[in-house]
């Protein structure tokens, strides 16, 4: 499934959860830091991290993508 592949790519350290650091690393890897500011990453992260533990699980990730902004 596409979304789980995307999640695995974003989970750069293979921890099974996405941290804000993982997201920033991915944006930099894609060369998109010009378009995706830290502020936007933090906004997405705060919204997606529903349990507030500082990490995005695959369930939280799916929920954030499905619900949108």
Q: Which stretch binds Ca ion (CB under 5 A): 6-14, 19-27, 28-36, 49-57?
A: 49-57
Q: How far is the CB of 54 from Ca ion (least distance, A)?
A: 7
Q: Report which of 8, 26, 30 is spatially closest to residue 17, judged by C-alpha positions.
A: 8
Q: How far is the CB of 34 from Ca ion (least distance, A)?
A: 28
* Rounded-to-integer distance, Cα 40 and Cα 62, Å: 18
* Rounded-to-integer distance, Cα 19 and Cα 25, Å: 10
Q: How far is the CB of 35 from Ca ion (least distance, A)?
A: 25
User: Does 53 interact with Ca ion (rule: CB under 5 A)?
Assistant: yes
């Amino acid at each position: 499934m596409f979304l789980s592949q995307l999640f695995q790519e974003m989970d750069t350290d293979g921890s099974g959860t996405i941290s804000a650091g993982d997201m920033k690393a991915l944006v930099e890897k894609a060369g998109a830091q010009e378009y995706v500011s830290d502020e936007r990453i933090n906004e997405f992260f705060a919204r997606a991290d529903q349990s507030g533990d500082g990490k995005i699980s695959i369930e939280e990730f799916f929920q954030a993508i499905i619900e949108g902004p």
